[in-house]
Structure 1
Amino acid sequence: MKNSFYILLLILASFQSCKKLEASEIQMISAEEMQQRFQTENIQVIDVRSAEEFSKGHILTAKNILVNEKADNPKFFDTLNKEQPIVVYGRESRQAKKAINILEDKGFKEVYELEGGIENWILLGGNLD
């Protein structure tokens, strides 16, 4: 049964792997692929929900930033490694896209939005902190 789950997970990941949205140019990453990549890569995770939502549960290793707080953004984004992939998620896709645009403007190359957000992550059994 456990092997069947992993085979299904691999099949889903192959179909749902990083998709590029034509209109917005935002790269999406599925929760399945993110879980797989966590095992072999250092992935930076940014949660753009409110501090209150973040404190109720967030993806392990996620850092919290509110993209509306312009004063804190430059210092925060400078703490990230441009050589490592970054996954962004929020309550609304609009918030995540705003953060992704800032990251891309600052020269980050491998930036993704988590498809389905934290809700999808939880549904697929992803760990929370």
Structure 2
Amino acid sequence: MPNNIIIMAFFSFLLGAKAQNSHIKVLTPQEFKQQITGNSLQLIDVRTAIEFKSGHIKGAKNMDFFSSSFKAQLEKLNKEKPVYVYCRSGNRSNKAAHVLAKMGFIEIFDLKGGFLNWKE
């Protein structure tokens, strides 16, 4: 009987974690580019200011993932509208996407491979 409880708890954990992240979709650069053509867009670059200044996607707002004010900046976004997020390689943006999901954002799109894969 105790083994059944452990097994059930394990599967509940796995399914719960998957459901929690169901709001995050990783898009190829082509998909990302097609979707960011809208007017009411929340496009977030989570790289440092120096990285951002060296080149970024047109219309992106810089919110440094490592900044102490990162979460406060995210709070200013509209949770009802899609959020498109990217970084240099996809690592920070993936972490940022999970932060957004925990904060209650509904639609989160992450650029696969980050800015390194982006071609204007």
TM-score computed with the length of structure 1 as normaliser: 0.66
Q: Are the counterparts in 2 of residues 37 and 43 from structure 1 also a CA contact under 8 Å? A: no
Q: 1:67 maps to what in 2?
A: 65
- Residues of 2 paired with 1:86 and 1:31: CA distance? 15
Counterparts of residues 45-64 of structure 1 (less than 5 Å)? 45-64=43-62
- Residues of 2 paired with 1:31 and 1:120: CA distance? 7
Three-state SS of the structure 2 residue aligned to 1:39 is: coil
Per-residue displacement from partner, 1:80-116 (whole Å, max 9, x unpaired)?
1112211111124221122111111111010011012
Whichever of the two has the greater Rg, that structure is 2
Matched, 1:104 2:104: no
Q: Are the counterparts in 1 of residues 79 and 104 from structure 2 also a CA contact under 8 Å? A: yes
Number of aligned positions between the proteins: 100
Q: What RMSD, in angstroms, separates the aligned Cα atoms of the two structures? A: 2.1
Runs of 5+ consecutive residues of structure 2 not aligned to the other structure? 1-17
Q: 1:90 maps to what in 2?
A: 87
| Identical pairs, percent | 36
- Residues of 2 paired with 1:86 and 1:42: CA distance? 10
Once the 2 structures are TM-superposed, how far is the Cα of residue 53 of structure 1 from its aligned partner?
0.9
Per-residue displacement from partner, 1:23-54 (whole Å, max 9, x unpaired)?
x9442012222222233453311111121110
- Residues of 1 paired with 2:89 and 2:36: CA distance? 23
Q: 1:37 maps to what in 2?
A: 35
Point out which structure has higher relative CO (alpha carbons under 8 A, 6+ apart). 2
- Residues of 1 paired with 2:36 and 2:92: CA distance? 23
